[in-house]
Chain A
């Protein structure tokens, strides 16, 4: 238990007499909260979850909440940028609260799921002699503490800034309005949850949450990379929120107007209306949450935890489509039954495993963001397609870097493909009479290529064609072939593992880091070599032939892997 949790716990438990008067058992309440917070501390938060690479995940998480607090604080500092936009309070705060609400919603949505939907409550707390009021209050206070840990550090930098820039009163008004914004965010999240739960099944709900997490990770990364650059570029210093009438629809505008009105006592009619909405709406919305949304919400939540078997019969699968795509590709690219089996297995597992998606898909986003950043960074004044077309070498350079950067992504995917939370299920590979496990590995690498890398390659190709035109095609082909060689090289050197067969918790291996660095170095080296020859078509053709030969060699070699190469430690069982 860290100092923040302890302090917050003391605060929420202060009105002991009041709780006792409500018929709540304070000792039980306290112990439930203590253990809930303890468990929170050992569970990675959303950012750690998605950005975590498998090889550091063994590290026991003990103070996840300190991580959350630091992240939120950093975000709060990051928000301060808006005070460079424009000159008036309304402009500043409209942007500030817009970012605040967006980020808060996203953090809450992804972090909340684990807090709210804790199925174990049903088994652990419900059978014990704890009354309903205690359970409900414990849940509410837990959520409150959780929100405090996110909101307070996020608000703090803004509070300090405003207090110094203007005075303490500005700070206090700002703080109160931030709490209003928090209330409003809670309302939004509740609404989103209810809507998602209305239109889909609880199982899919979890999937949607993981997609939100993926998006969230990319979004944060993109904003850290892009927003400062954009602000630096465009002359936003003199920018002012136009007093157009549509702004009245924007929640953060209401809050900004509210601040302006209370702080300066000046406002136009529209601003006054907005400010009044800003005061009334959060209160009204939280009333709606308590009165209408929360009850049905809890019902729905109970459904999530009790979803087992509930909708069994009507969940007839219609993945036949993806399955068929997989099968037809497999029929073309695999040479024997075992390899095909490995292909189909990995194909299905990748397309359905939530874990794999959450860990791998964000990296696609990172690459795209990186490409955009690189395009932006060189040119000092804005960019246009025309500039890029004219500045041939610069865009080719960007594209080549893009191709070789995707190695990082592929490395993530390959690593991730060997892990599974169902790793124990890999007994099936070891009890069946497989002569060469290399065939299975080869099949799964092909599945990875076709399901995952093909997509990236296409994106790169499209970007390249748009930026440079058809003249880049030889380079792209060479780049992608090299990339496939790199994939096989990575597998041959480092990951001779059966797909989805290793435990995530045992994933830290000594030397893994060095190996990763070594592999990235190889990618870098090949990239540099490519960069030196990209203007010379003859060299490109020669390089292409070498690359393809190497590819055939590596691919054949991979299929010959025997059981001796696969470490059978028995840790799994």
Chain B
């Protein structure tokens, strides 16, 4: 394994007003790793992701991507990152072709290469017939495919995926999962952020669990199982992130009806 980390996060703190979301994250990710980044709602997952891809710049601590400091050399860092955001937010009056061409241009891609790739990727997602339709009529899954395409278009070294499977149909889910492992074999680093434990369990070779802004577990699924007893990731997650038992919460819910 390569010994220089491609993503390095040191003492990362981030607050929104008085609300401190990240409380000292330290993390090194090596090339070719598929990192599953999990945590309960509000744990700071999305914030970490946004800092990594340059959407948030007012953080404390040091974040370097392939040696480039995210604060000082953001442009160089951004070149090797592909980002697939969580919500299907895109300018939907554009067509996928226009949108992707636009993204390609922002990455400074060669126009011919870019068009060729758009066609190939969109065909692979079986959206070739929708290439010149406005996206405002697209379903959530179709939009998600366009976003995935936009994250892969410039052949980045690091791919940051934030709930990439939301809205996708079963076949596409299988396809994306396979794609992830193939990309990893190809030496790409995948930063996979999700709530879906079963998928994280399968695709990632290293799992980071964060809760209330700090990392509470770090290791492969096997290592986590060793530490926490032979449980499913879901159970490990529940065990590490909730003080009261989840069963009690469900009981409380039931009691609301009495």
A residues lining the B interface (CB < 8 Å): 203, 307-309, 311-313, 315-317, 319-320, 323, 337-338, 340-341, 344-345, 348-349, 352-353, 420, 422, 424-425, 427-435, 500, 563, 568, 570, 573
Which chain B residue shows the least CB distance to A312? B137
Contact A420 B55, CB 8 Å, known A203-B137, A348-B98, A435-B75: no
Question: For residue B58, which residues in chain A have a CB less than 8 angstroms away from its CB?
Answer: 568, 570
Contact A573 B106, CB 8 Å, known A315-B137, A430-B55: no
In the assembly, what is the distance between CA of A559 and CA of B90, in Å?
Answer: 25
| B54: Cβ under 8 A from any A Cβ | yes
How many Å from the CB of A303 to the closest CB on chain B? Answer: 13
Question: For residue B132, which residues in chain A have a CB less than 8 angstroms away from its CB?
Answer: 316-317, 320
Other-chain contact of B93, A352, A428, A434 (Cβ < 8 Å):
A352
| B190: Cβ under 8 A from any A Cβ | no
B83 touches A431 (CB 8 A): yes
Other-chain contact of B134, A313, A352, A429 (Cβ < 8 Å):
A352
Question: For residue B107, which residues in chain A have a CB less than 8 angstroms away from its CB?
Answer: 432-433
Other-chain contact of A430, B54, B103, B129 (Cβ < 8 Å):
B54
How many Å from the CB of B44 to the closest CB on chain A? Answer: 14
A570 touches B137 (CB 8 A): no
| B92: Cβ under 8 A from any A Cβ | yes
Question: For residue B136, which residues in chain A have a CB less than 8 angstroms away from its CB?
Answer: 203
Contact A353 B93, CB 8 Å, known A312-B133, A428-B150: yes
Which chain B residue shows the least CB distance to A435? B75
Which chain B residue shows the least CB distance to A315? B133
Query: Would you give 14 A-B contacts (Cβ < 8 Å), ordered by A?
Result: A203-B136, A309-B139, A312-B137, A341-B106, A348-B93, A349-B91, A352-B134, A427-B89, A431-B55, A432-B106, A432-B107, A433-B108, A435-B75, A570-B55
Question: For residue A420, which residues in chain B have a CB less than 8 angstroms away from its CB?
Answer: 91
B108 touches A307 (CB 8 A): no
A432 touches B91 (CB 8 A): no
In the assembly, what is the distance between CA of A422 and CA of B133, in Å?
Answer: 18
| B212: Cβ under 8 A from any A Cβ | no
Question: For residue B74, which residues in chain A have a CB less than 8 angstroms away from its CB?
Answer: 433, 563
Question: For residue B56, which residues in chain A have a CB less than 8 angstroms away from its CB?
Answer: 568, 570, 573
Mask, B67-88, CB within 8 Å of A = 1, is: 0000000111111010101010
Question: For residue A311, which residues in chain B have a CB less than 8 angstroms away from its CB?
Answer: 137
How many Å from the CB of B99 to the closest CB on chain A? Answer: 9
How many Å from the CB of A35 to the closest CB on chain B? Answer: 24
Other 6 A-B pairs with CB < 8 A, given A345-B94, A422-B91: A312-B130, A319-B95, A337-B105, A425-B90, A425-B91, A433-B75
Question: For residue A353, which residues in chain B have a CB less than 8 angstroms away from its CB?
Answer: 93
| B53: Cβ under 8 A from any A Cβ | yes
Mask, B131-144, CB within 8 Å of A = 1, is: 01110110100000
How many Å from the CB of B139 to the closest CB on chain A? Answer: 6
Question: For residue B129, which residues in chain A have a CB less than 8 angstroms away from its CB?
Answer: 313
Question: For residue B50, which residues in chain A have a CB less than 8 angstroms away from its CB?
Answer: 570, 573
B92 touches A422 (CB 8 A): yes
How many Å from the CB of B235 to the closest CB on chain A? Answer: 32
B94 touches A348 (CB 8 A): yes
Question: For residue B134, which residues in chain A have a CB less than 8 angstroms away from its CB?
Answer: 315, 317, 352
Instruction: Give B211-225 interface residues, CB cut-off 8 Å to A.
Output: none
Which chain A residue shows the least CB distance to B94? A348
Mask, B24-58, CB within 8 Å of A = 1, is: 00000000000000000000001000100111111
In the assembly, what is the distance between CA of A431 and CA of B130, in Å?
Answer: 26
Question: For residue A341, which residues in chain B have a CB less than 8 angstroms away from its CB?
Answer: 102, 105-106
In the assembly, what is the distance between CA of A337 and CA of B110, in Å?
Answer: 10
Which chain A residue shows the least CB distance to B52? A431
Which chain B residue shows the least CB distance to A320? B132
B106 touches A429 (CB 8 A): yes
B55 touches A427 (CB 8 A): yes
Question: For residue A338, which residues in chain B have a CB less than 8 angstroms away from its CB?
Answer: 105-106, 108
B102 touches A345 (CB 8 A): yes
Question: For residue A424, which residues in chain B have a CB less than 8 angstroms away from its CB?
Answer: 87, 89
Contact A317 B95, CB 8 Å, known A427-B85, A433-B76, A570-B58: yes
Which chain B residue shows the least CB distance to A337? B105
B105 touches A433 (CB 8 A): no
In the assembly, what is the distance between CA of A568 and CA of B53, in Å?
Answer: 14
Which chain A residue shows the least CB distance to B134? A317
Question: For residue A429, which residues in chain B have a CB less than 8 angstroms away from its CB?
Answer: 106
